[in-house]
Amino acid sequence: MWTPKYRRAVLVGPIAKRCEQVLRQVANKYRAEIMALEIMPDHVHVLVEVDPQLGIHRLVKHLKGVSSHTLRQEFRTWSGFIRKLSYKAESAGRWLVKVNARGTSQQCPCGRAVPKKLWDRKHHCSACGFKTIRDHASALEILRRGLRLRTETPALAGVALEAPSFSYGE
């Protein structure tokens, strides 16, 4: 048995699956047989039969070393992050919709362009009169694009997506 650093519950979903795969590969490589394997969110139980020539300590060292190295490599990347997010969303009965955030700070959720300089922190749309801070307007625009993508994507069209309610105090 061992635990990830800080005993954080990171071994879930695709990470747990990948962890198991890697452990089995390592065991195979050293001709060790995994009799039982249980991956819990914050620790791993493994029962192995190992060649005495190799020794259990060396095998465990390899199992730990390779798995933590591999998982860290694979899941710290952007795609790893997206995989995790998508899994989280799915397990909550939601969809992950990826939105191109380009230009979202330059547009009002009403559809009009509201150009801003980097130092303009406020959003004021002369077309619809909407006033808020820059980041809030961007977030609303990202949401609007996501909802539009949803209606344009047949697989997502039937999925209920609650429009969150907003309150904002300056």
Pick 99 or 110: Cβ nearer Zn ion? 110
Task: State in angstroms the smallest separation of the CB of 161 from Zn ion.
Answer: 22
User: In whole angstroms, what is the distance from residue 2 CA to residue 62 CA?
Assistant: 12
Match 């490599």 to its residue by tokens.
Answer: 73
Minimum distance, C-beta of residue 128 to Zn ion, in the bound complex (Å): 3
Q: How far is the CB of 42 from Zn ion (least distance, A)?
A: 47
Nearer to Zn ion, 9 or 127 (CB): 127
3-state SS string for the chain: CECCHHHCCCCCHHHHHHHHHHHHHHHHHCCCEEEEEEEECCEEEEEEECCCCCCHHHHHHHHHHHHHHHHHHHHCCHHHHHHHHHHHHHHCCCCCCCCCCCCHHHECCCCCECCCCCCCCEEECCCCCCEEEHHHHHHHHHHHHHHHHHHHCHHHHCCCCCCCCCCCCC
Min CB(119)–Zn ion separation in Å:
21
Nearest CB to Zn ion, comparing residues 71 and 125: 125
**Interface ranges with Zn ion (CB under 5 A):** 108, 110, 112, 125, 127-128, 130
For residues 89 and 128, which CB has a smaller minimum distance to Zn ion in the complex? 128
Least distance to Zn ion from the beta carbon of 102, Å? 19
Q: How far is Cα 95 from Cα 84, in angstroms, rounded to an integer?
A: 12
Output phi, psi for 39, to 5 deg.
Answer: -105, 110
78 or 168: whose CB is closer to Zn ion?
168
